[in-house]
Amino acid sequence: MIISIASGKGGTGKTFITTNLARSLESNVAVYDCDVEAPNSHLFLRPDVLGKTSFVTTVPAIDLEKCTFCKKCMEICRFNAIAILKENALVFPELCHSCGGCFRICEDRAINEVDRILGDIETGKAGSIDLVHGRLGVGQVMAPRLIEQVKSRMKEDVVNIIDAPPGTSCPVITSIKNSDFVVLVTEPTPFGLHDLKLAVEGVRALNLPHGIIVNRAGKGDDQVSAYARKENIDILMEIPFDRSIAETYSNGEIYVDIHPEMKKVFKALFDKIQEQIHHRRCN
């Protein structure tokens, strides 16, 4: 089972939900932090690190001895990563999407594939929770490729929880596609509502079942609930606006570790999600 925790707006509580849900389930649960630009789940789960691998892609290196400066590689590259001059060839690896076009088009065998590290992937264990998190290298742009690598480590028979990045563009879509259920975390404010609508458009475009969690409820306005009612989307849970929750979070503590009695609330959330997945499969 794959449950994604997403949101349009950042800072609404994706990592809070991810870590508390994972901790409340106790067994057979794995967390995949796909917010590879700003991964935070490990700060709360504090796993024992079991392994770390570099995420490597291949980029071209042009052998000037063999290059005839025919420019075919420059022409096939849609990303302007190669510039062929009169008697020189330049590669801009940070622009390369590793599509392999230049290697294939070169008739002079002048292009070698060289490794480029885009980031790394760390695996660890926090109690019974498996954690995999990707970390995009500073200055790198290929977040979706790294996210795919993080997701490729998912297992069949456990509850896989994905901590997704904010927004609605390619890194988010890469993170949440193929999920059995997407939890959209928002807050009851004009910004929260606006970005929730975008996120709903996104999950609808992918035809994924989804529900809403309203964080910091009680402050702001009631427009999010009105929207959810109108669009017939379940509000799975409401978390009150409470400074003490924010304080716990600020120290890197998981709320249910300090308030174990709250685990049942997250277990109930999980039951609701499971029910909805089941219901959808039956229809």
Instruction: Summarize as ranges the residues that interact with another protein (CB under 8 A).
Output: 8-12, 15, 35-38, 40, 43-44, 76, 78-79, 97-101, 104-105, 136, 138-141, 143, 165-171, 173, 177, 189-191, 194-195, 198, 201-202, 205-206, 216, 219-221, 241, 243, 246-247, 249-252
DSSP state of 165: P
| φ, ψ dihedrals at 105, nearest 5° | -85, -20
Q: Which two tokens stand for residue 222?
A: 């009631």
Dihedral sign, Cα of residue 161, residue 164, residue 168, residue 170: negative
Please check whether residue 93 is in contact with residue 141, taking contact to mean a CB–CB distance below 8 angstroms. no
Smaller CB distance to another protein: residue 37 or 180? Answer: 37
Minimum Å gap between C-beta 274 and another protein is 27
Place of tokens 């799975």: 236
- Smallest CA-to-CA distance from 183 within 159, 195, 200 is with 200
| φ, ψ dihedrals at 126, nearest 5° | -115, 95
Minimum Å gap between C-beta 230 and another protein is 19
Smaller CB distance to another protein: residue 98 or 160? Answer: 98
Minimum Å gap between C-beta 83 and another protein is 17
Please check whether residue 174 is in contact with residue 5, taking contact to mean a CB–CB distance below 8 angstroms. no
Smaller CB distance to another protein: residue 209 or 267? Answer: 209
Q: Give the Cα-Cα-Cα angle 241, 246, 247 (nearest 5 degrees).
A: 135
Q: Give the Cα-Cα-Cα angle 241, 243, 245 (nearest 5 degrees).
A: 80
Minimum Å gap between C-beta 183 and another protein is 16
Minimum Å gap between C-beta 190 and another protein is 5
Burial class (CB in 10 A: 0-12, 13-18, 19+), 232: exposed
Smaller CB distance to another protein: residue 16 or 270? Answer: 16
Smaller CB distance to another protein: residue 174 or 270? Answer: 174
Smaller CB distance to another protein: residue 4 or 98? Answer: 98
Rg (CA), the chain: 22
Minimum Å gap between C-beta 205 and another protein is 5
